[in-house]
Amino acid sequence: MFRKVHIRLTLLCAGITAVIMIIMSLCYLYVSETGLYRNQFQSFQNDINTITTNLEQQSVISMEWLSKMEAQGNYLFYVLDGGIPFLYNQLNDTGESSARSLLLEECRKAYQSVTITDTEKQSDSSYLSSHFEFEFVSESTGSRYFGSVISMGKYASSLEIIVLSSLQPLEQQILEQRFHFILIDLAAIFLLTVFSWLFTGLLLKPIMENHRKQVQFVASASHELRTPLAVILSAAECCKSAPSEKLEGFLKTISQEGLRMSALVNDMLTLSGSDNQRFSVRPKPIELDTLLMNSYEAFDPLAQDKSIALSIILPEKALPLCSADPERISQVVSILLHNAISYTPEHGRIELSLFHKKEHFYLSVKDNGIGIADEDKKKIFDRFYRVEKSRSTKDHFGLGLSIAYEIVKAHGGNIQVADADGGGSIFTVIL
């Protein structure tokens, strides 16, 4: 299920980003290519202005000058004097250059078709020059060109010069730019897909982990509830045919297992409230030393029943008030003390201590019991997790430390476990 979701999220993230990137690339290419054509056309117009100025200053147009201008600007020139081609054009109109005359004639026809409304009327001045630039597509070659027709007149004579500039270098540049963008987009789409796969995997990881824990939680809860429920059903069945002197024992068993089930359900409801952000914490200024003393007095009789020495160490100086929920912190201390008493052998020792350092309160419960292996320390606060040595302990469901962890986390604090000197464990709550 999660693999399909992972794939779909990857395709969705990568697809949307790729579409946006492609659209932006197309927009950039459009703006860039439009700018390249515009700049090229403006450069062509500037060159025509320069050529026109040079022609106006010359009384004779030499073939050497035409050849030089063609070589410098990569242009084609076609000159007509009174409608008669220059000798320059006739000399170049041989062999492969025959296509040149055809191309220039196509340019002249294109000029005549686009300048019906654009050309200006001839004035009465003794000397007149004008030029008009346009773009056309050659039918013979299929290529695009910029063309310009320069008209010059002096008295009764007229001179017409056609200048052509091929757009093939510009189109080649544009094709290379498009090819580069295609390669960049393909590489970017590949990287986006890889990134989306990793990113959505990170997003799904806590969801998958939460789902795994939920499944494990339901399985563990079902297992824990099945045992007392089976005992209750068995005892209830025995009550039907049991003699009166044994009936009280079966009813006591039913009551005890019912209380165990009630405690387990209450613990699960507490953790459920934490998962649903309904974990009630009402902090207020409290005296932690007084709270720990009350917990010590409450658990001291239980410790004495197991021949365990329970001691408490409090600072001699008065401590500042701590902002916390007194009932919840008392619950944490009770869970830690209850676990310590349960897993500490007879004639053992448990030490409850408190000290303050740099605006932090350190509350610890230290015992010399069975201890916790290093591989278990990482899982000790997981729900329904119990160390193998203590699985036979009937009064523990593996939820106490999980509840303590959630309470401390809701206070913005931290809870840690470490090995105690001389054996056993030490749990430290930092607020």
Which residues contact residue 312 at a Cβ distance below 8 angstroms, ignoring those fewer than 6 apart? 292, 293, 296, 351, 352, 353
- Comparison of pLDDT for 287 and 56, the residue scoring more: 287
The pLDDT confidence band at residue 191, using thresholds 50, 70 and 90, is very high
Cα 109 to the center of its chain, rounded Å: 60
Nearest to 144 by CA among 101, 115, 185, 110: 110
Both tokens assigned to 286: 């409290």
Q: Using only C-alpha atoms, what is the Rg of the chain? A: 47
Instruction: State residue 208's pLDDT score.
Output: 85
Instruction: State residue 120's pLDDT score.
Output: 44
How many CB atoms within 10 Å of residue 57?
Answer: 7
Instruction: State residue 91's pLDDT score.
Output: 55
Burial profile 262-276: b = 16 or more Cβ within 10 angstroms, e = fewer: eebeebbebbeebee
The pLDDT confidence band at residue 313, using thresholds 50, 70 and 90, is very high
- Comparison of pLDDT for 375 and 293, the residue scoring more: 293
Average pLDDT, the chain: 81
CA-CA-CA-CA torsion sign (95, 97, 103, 109): negative
Q: Are 315 and 355 in contact (CB under 8 A)?
A: yes
Dihedral, 213, 219, 222, 227 alpha carbons, nearest 10: -120
Which parts of 167-241 are beta strand (E)?
Answer: none
The pLDDT confidence band at residue 428, using thresholds 50, 70 and 90, is very high
Q: How far apart are CA 9 and CA 6, in angstroms?
A: 5
Q: How far apart are CA 100 and CA 102, in angstroms?
A: 5
353, HSE (Cβ side, Cα atoms, 13 Å): 13
Mean pLDDT across the stretch 216-233? 73
β 144-154/157-166 pair status? antiparallel
Q: How far apart are CA 344 and CA 340, in angstroms?
A: 6
> Looking at residue 420, what DSSP letter applies?
P
Predicted confidence (pLDDT) per residue in 86-107, tens digit: 666 655 554 455 666 777 778 8
DSSP 404-428: HHHHHHHTT-EEEEEEPTTSSEEEE
Using CA atoms, how far residue 345 sits from 235, 365, 396, in Å, is 32, 16, 16
The pLDDT confidence band at residue 126, using thresholds 50, 70 and 90, is very low
Predicted confidence (pLDDT) per residue in 31-65, tens digit: 999 999 999 999 989 988 888 888 887 777 777 77
Rounded to 5 degrees, φ, ψ at 23 are -60, -45
Predicted confidence (pLDDT) per residue in 358-397, tens digit: 889 999 999 988 888 888 887 788 766 666 544 445 555 6
Q: Are 357 and 351 in contact (CB under 8 A)?
A: no
Residue 128 three-state SS: strand
Instruction: State residue 196's pLDDT score.
Output: 92
Measured CA angle at 325 (ends 322, 331), to 5 deg: 115
**What proportion of the chain, given as a percentage, has pLDDT over 70?**
84
Rounded to 5 degrees, φ, ψ at 147 are -125, 150
Instruction: State residue 50's pLDDT score.
Output: 86
Instruction: State residue 274's pLDDT score.
Output: 61
CA-CA-CA-CA torsion sign (321, 325, 328, 331): positive
Instruction: State residue 108's pLDDT score.
Output: 77
Q: Which residue has the tokens 């070659």?
A: 141
Mean pLDDT across the stretch 289-294? 92
Predicted confidence (pLDDT) per residue in 246-277, tens digit: 788 888 888 877 877 777 777 677 776 666 55
**Residue 127 predicted with pLDDT over 60:** no
Q: Most distant CA pair in the chain: distance in Å?
A: 145
Instruction: State residue 155's pLDDT score.
Output: 52
358, amino acid identity = K
Burial profile 342-356: b = 16 or more Cβ within 10 angstroms, e = fewer: bbbeeebbbbbbbeb
Rounded to 5 degrees, φ, ψ at 238 are -70, -30
Mean pLDDT across the stretch 112-122? 54
The pLDDT confidence band at residue 70, using thresholds 50, 70 and 90, is confident
Q: How far apart are CA 321 and CA 288, in angstroms?
A: 7
Residue 194 three-state SS: helix
Instruction: State residue 80's pLDDT score.
Output: 79
Both tokens assigned to 122: 């001839």
352, HSE (Cβ side, Cα atoms, 13 Å): 30
